[in-house]
Amino acid sequence: MDGNIKFVQGNEACVEAALYAGLDFFAGYPITPSTEIAEHMSYRLPQIGGKFIQMEDEISSICAIIGASLTGHKVMTATSGPGFSLMQEGLGYAIMAEIPCVIVNVMRGGPSTGLPTCPSQGDVYQARWGAHGDHAIIALTASNHQDAFNITVDAFNMAETYRTPVILLFDEVIGHMRERLTIPEPGDIPVVDRLRTSVKAGIDYHPYLPREDGRLPMSDFGGQHRYNVTGLAHDMWGFPSSNPGVVHGLLRHLVDKIKNNVDTITRYKEYYLEDARTVLISYGSSARSALHIVKNRRARGERLGLLELQTIWPFPYGLVEEKCEKARHIVVVEMNMGQVLRAVKRAVHHPERVVLANRIDGVFITPTDIKNILRLIEGKGV
Q: Under the rule (CB under 8 A), what is the footprint of other proteins? A: 25, 27, 43, 46-47, 49, 51, 53, 55-57, 59-61, 63-73, 75, 89-90, 93, 220-224, 226-232, 239-240
Nearer to other proteins, 99 or 333 (CB): 99
Q: Is the peptide bond before 184 cis (omega within 30 degrees of 0)?
A: no
To other proteins, the closest distance from the beta carbon of 16 in angstroms equals 15
Strand order in the sheet with 138-140: 51-54, 23-28, 74-79, 101-107, 165-171, 138-140, 311-313
Q: Say which DSSP state 108 is in.
A: -
Least gap, CB of 170 to other proteins (angstroms): 23
Minimal distance in Å, beta carbon 78 to other proteins? 15
108 or 225: CB nearest other proteins: 225
Q: Is 228 exposed, middle or buried (0-12, 13-18, 19+ CB in 10 A)?
A: middle
Q: How far is the CB of 88 from other proteins (least distance, A)?
A: 11
339 neighbors 125 (Cβ within 8 angstroms)? yes
Cα 231 to its chain centre, rounded Å, is 22
Chain-centre distance for alpha carbon 22? 18
Report, in Å, the least distance between residue 65 CB and other proteins. Answer: 6
Instruction: State how far the Cα of 375 lies from the Cα of 382, in Å rounded to an integer.
Output: 6
DSSP annotation of 365 = P
Measured from the CB atom, the residue of 65 and 309 that comes closer to other proteins is 65
In the bound state with other proteins, the residue whose beta carbon lies nearer, of 129 and 227, is: 227
Instruction: Give the nearer residue to other proteins in terms of CB position, either 38 or 354.
Output: 38
Q: Please state, in angstroms and rounded to a whole number, the distance separating the CA atoms of residues 206 and 237.
A: 5
- C-beta of 231 vs 249, nearer to other proteins: 231
Which residue, among 88, 81, 77, 22, has the nearest Cα to 54 in the 3D structure?
Answer: 77
* Shortest CB 230 distance to other proteins, Å: 4
Q: How far is the CB of 194 from other proteins (least distance, A)?
A: 13
Please state the closest distance from residue 17 (CB atom) to other proteins, in A.
19
Choice between 25 and 208, CB closer to other proteins: 25
CB proximity list for 103: less than 8 A, separation 6 or greater:
62, 76, 77, 78, 79, 84, 87, 91, 165, 166, 167, 168
Nearest CA-CA partner of 285 in 344, 353, 359, 382: 359
Phi-psi region of 338 (alpha: psi -120 to 50; beta: other; left: phi over 0): left
Nearer to other proteins, 75 or 177 (CB): 75
